[in-house]
């Protein structure tokens, strides 16, 4: 269930309810691809840093430890000891970006595992079964994520196939949820809009899939190399054709500015590996801009990463200490940095929601959208 409780322009303040809890939106989903956040961060840590939804990946968990094994362990929530809401990506993006020697047919995709090269088949029904075994609260439809750029004619055919695949996902998902031994019979299904960077294909595809009985809809296939302004133009073209009473999810996005601008264009859900990846390389977010903790200027800096931040790193440690851990190659450096950046993103969403609640999102956007990704002045 989803309810929009307040609007400011196209921006929406909402509440999403699923089997494992209630989510305040807009929301950033913390990405635990294989059941953990890269950087030695567990599900227990996510609670401490304000995470509302955890996101894991169908493709990776199917390969290892195997979704049937996770099912026998009681589902992914129990397996990783996370009792909050969870979304699983369909695996489509990984099949088309990581796997080798792909062969696409109407039935689905045959590909080589990036781990050991073994041949694997995945189609809409297989993706739904894997996600049902995992027991997530939101399953994503299986789609084809085309390369950017791709010829118009190919993208058009791909969109038509992705729409047909969604019809099969809906049928299989409904059947699986009715099964007596279903791990999570309340699992919801989100459809995915595709169409490359062609607005007319995006709109046509969105109009078609909006008629299908999905619980929410995502915009996929963006943030894959196209200019940022093109991404925003696609969102603006698609958004008017997305159901008003269902959540919208911008997949794989993005930077703090991308998120603020996405909210301004009507998006409710976001995810991205970037905050954790940047943290592992020493790039940290503050409300004054980014800092590279490896910089020698911080070797005697007694301040926390970000003044006033309540993350585990900032509550206890100085920039100088974190820089020392990074230069010494200590694993603790990566963990503390990842915790900080994820806390920052979750706090960013909390402040966005507060601004929407108070009718000041426009001022918030003007203050922070162009600042948060620039180097901090100190």
Ordered structural domains, the chain, with CATH: 26-272 (3.20.20.105), 279-368 (no CATH)
DSSP β-bridge partners for residue 120:
111
CB 253 within 8 A of CB 273: no
Cβ neighbour number for residue 366 with a 10 Å cutoff: 11
Record the pTM.
0.97
Cα–Cα distance, 111 to 378 (Å, whole number): 48
Residues marked as catalytic: 89, 271
The total number of residues written for the chain in this structure: 378
pLDDT at 91: 80
CA 322 to chain centre: 28
Q: What are phi and psi of 273, to 5 degrees?
A: -80, -10
- Pair 77, 62: CB distance under 8 Å: no
pLDDT for the residue 97: 74
State the pLDDT at residue 98.
64
Tokens read off for 291 = 């800092």
- Listed in sequence order, the residues at least 6 apart from 181 whose beta carbon sits closer than 8 Å to its beta carbon are none
- pLDDT tens digit at each of 378 positions of the chain: 999 999 999 999 999 999 999 999 999 999 999 999 999 999 999 999 999 999 999 999 999 999 999 999 999 999 999 999 999 998 878 777 765 678 899 999 998 888 898 998 999 999 999 999 999 999 999 999 898 899 999 999 999 999 999 999 999 999 999 999 999 999 999 999 999 999 999 999 999 999 999 999 999 999 988 999 999 999 999 999 999 999 999 999 999 999 999 999 999 999 999 999 999 999 999 999 999 999 999 999 999 999 999 999 999 999 999 999 999 999 999 999 999 999 999 999 999 999 999 999 999 999 999 999 999 998
pLDDT at 133: 98
Asked if the peptide bond before residue 27 counts as cis, ω within 30 degrees of 0, the response is no
Query: By the 8 A CB rule, do 338 and 274 touch?
Result: no
């Amino acid at each position: 269930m989803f309810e929009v409780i307040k609007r400011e322009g196209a921006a929406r303040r909402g509440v999403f309810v699923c089997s494992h809890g209630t989510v305040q939106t807009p929301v950033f989903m913390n990405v635990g691809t294989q059941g953990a956040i890269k950087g030695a961060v567990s599900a227990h840590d996510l609670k401490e840093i304000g995470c509302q939804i955890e996101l894991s990946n169908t493709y990776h968990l199917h390969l290892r430890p195997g979704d049937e094994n996770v099912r026998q362990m009681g589902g992914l929530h129990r397996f990783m000891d996370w009792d909050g809401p969870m979304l699983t990506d369909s695996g489509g993006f990984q099949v088309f970006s990581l796997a080798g020697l792909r062969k696409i047919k109407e039935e689905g995709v045959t590909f080589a595992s990036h781990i050991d090269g073994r041949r694997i088949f995945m189609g809409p029904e297989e993706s739904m079964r894997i996600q049902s075994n995992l027991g997530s609260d939101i399953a994503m439809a299986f789609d084809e994520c085309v390369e950017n750029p791709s010829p118009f004619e190919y993208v058009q055919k791909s969109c038509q196939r992705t729409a047909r695949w969604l019809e099969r996902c809906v049928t299989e998902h409904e059947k699986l949820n009715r099964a007596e031994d279903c791990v999570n019979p309340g699992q919801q299904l989100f459809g995915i809009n595709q169409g490359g960077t062609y607005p007319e294909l995006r709109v046509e595809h969105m109009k078609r899939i909006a008629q299908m009985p999905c619980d929410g809809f995502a915009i996929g296939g963006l943030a894959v190399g196209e200019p940022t302004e093109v991404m925003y133009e696609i969102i603006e073209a698609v958004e008017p054709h997305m159901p008003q009473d269902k959540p919208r999810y911008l997949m794989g996005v993005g930077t703090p500015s991308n998120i603020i601008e996405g909210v301004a264009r009507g998006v409710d859900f976001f995810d991205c590996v970037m905050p954790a990846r940047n943290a592992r390389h020493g790039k940290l977010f503050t409300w004054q801009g980014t800092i590279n903790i490896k910089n020698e200027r911080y070797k005697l800096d007694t301040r926390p990463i970000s003044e006033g931040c309540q993350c585990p790193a900032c509550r206890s440690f100085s920039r100088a200490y974190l820089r020392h851990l990074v230069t010494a190659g200590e694993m603790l450096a990566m963990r503390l940095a990842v915790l900080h950046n994820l806390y920052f993103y979750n706090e960013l969403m909390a402040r966005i929601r507060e601004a929407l609640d108070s009718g000041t999102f426009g001022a918030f956007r003007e203050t922070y959208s162009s600042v948060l990704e620039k180097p901090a002045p100190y």
